[in-house]
Amino acid sequence: MVMNYKSFTLGVEEEYMVIDPHTWELKSHEQKIVQEGQKIIKDKVKAEMHQAVVEVGTDICKDVDEAYEDVGLLRKTLFDIAGSLNLSLGAAGTHPFSDWAQQLITEHDRYNEIVNELQEAARSNLIFGLHVHIGMESRELANHIANSTRYFLPHIFALSTNSPFWEGRTTGYKSFRTKVFDKFPRTGIPDAFDSIEAYDNYVKMLIKTNCIDNAKKIWWDLRVHPFYNTVEFRICDVPLTLDETIAIASLFQAICARIYMLRHKNLNFIQYSRALVNENKWRASRYGIDGYLIDFGKEEEVNTRALLYELLDFLDPVLDHLGSRHRIQHVQKMIEEGTGADKQIKVYKDTNCLKEVVKFINHSFLKGIA
């Protein structure tokens, strides 16, 4: 059977913080950016639960170059609209010092329902993530790939870490965003499912027992999407820049394609338990790429940067099939220069001022965009 790499399309969603450029605080924008944005880019821009958050999503992109152009255009368009409203934008997993309690909730039936059920856990969930959808030939293949890619989630998460501050405090974590989100139910690394039918039966049971009303309330770090033939990767902090976002999206696409290649050779990537993968996720959230992850095959700790270089070698056979080699090359720069969290921490150490950190986040937003 001929392998079809064209099925691995991409969709990228980013969540941006809305900033007052005079105080550098978060600013509840009362949907003004969304309303103006929809006049230009239609439903590619959406409101989020907190009014200080705006979400954008690309079209279905056939390759990473299309995704690069689409995300770049979305960033530029929304940034210009925000400026016309005397607002600005930034991309980081948390705002360094704004108080979530001062921000307004968007008036919407779905958000009202979530807040009513989850209470303070929902109201305090003022965080900003990156979601990457990778297209699949079938839901059965999506389940197989989701099972196998769970192992790699902490590696890429470590590279994306971009939220070291929370409510004016140094958290000690490279990604505190994930610790905030842990308060929600049905989050974190999922279990492996023996089949797509087993996954569907799990969802049906949750609906039948009034845990959820639809599968979109399963907020795992990756999931087989309930409505589309995609695997959705949800673990990452939103990166500072376009280049970082596309490099991370390229990694997710390449991992899916590599698992697909192995499957066609009647090979499989070993399945590790949720408990083990969670150990690596915690290490990634705490230390980013400066720590050690566990190599479960060797049963020993390995430098995270070394594991990322190993991952690049593992993915090399599919990069030319996907046309993504030039985008994934940026990963090496990220490994060498540090993550968004590392850069934020450096600005704070240099200035001792969190407003300067927000300025840095803001000034990074259009980096590399013409």
pLDDT single digits (tens) 202-228 = 999 999 999 999 999 999 999 998 888
Is residue 369 domain-resident?
no
CA pair distance 153, 173, nearest whole angstrom: 17
Smallest Cα–Cα separation from 15: which of 101, 69, 92?
A: 92
- With a cut of 80, say whether residue 284 has pLDDT above it: yes
- With a cut of 80, say whether residue 3 has pLDDT above it: no
DSSP bridge pairs for 47: 54
- DSSP annotation of 49: S
CA geometry: angle 68, 360, 96, nearest 5 deg: 105
pTM for the predicted model, two decimal places: 0.96
The SS3 assignment for 126 reads coil
323 exposure class (CB count in 10 Å sphere: 0-12, 13-18, 19+): middle
> Into how many domains does the chain fold?
1
Cβ within 8 Å of residue 69, ≥6 positions away: none
Percent of the chain with pLDDT over 70: 99
Amino acid symbol at 367: K
Is residue 48 domain-resident?
yes
Is residue 370 domain-resident?
no
Q: Note down the domain range covering 125.
A: 5-364
CATH number of the domain at 183, please.
3.30.590.20
pLDDT digits (tens, 9 = 90+) for 105-149: 998 899 999 999 999 999 999 999 999 999 999 999 999 999 999
Is residue 19 domain-resident?
yes
Is residue 235 domain-resident?
yes
Is residue 263 domain-resident?
yes
Token pair for 119: 């209470």
Token pair for 106: 């968007």
Give the pLDDT score at 1: 57
DSSP 267-287: --PPP--HHHHHHHHHHHHHH
CA pair distance 260, 6, nearest whole angstrom: 12
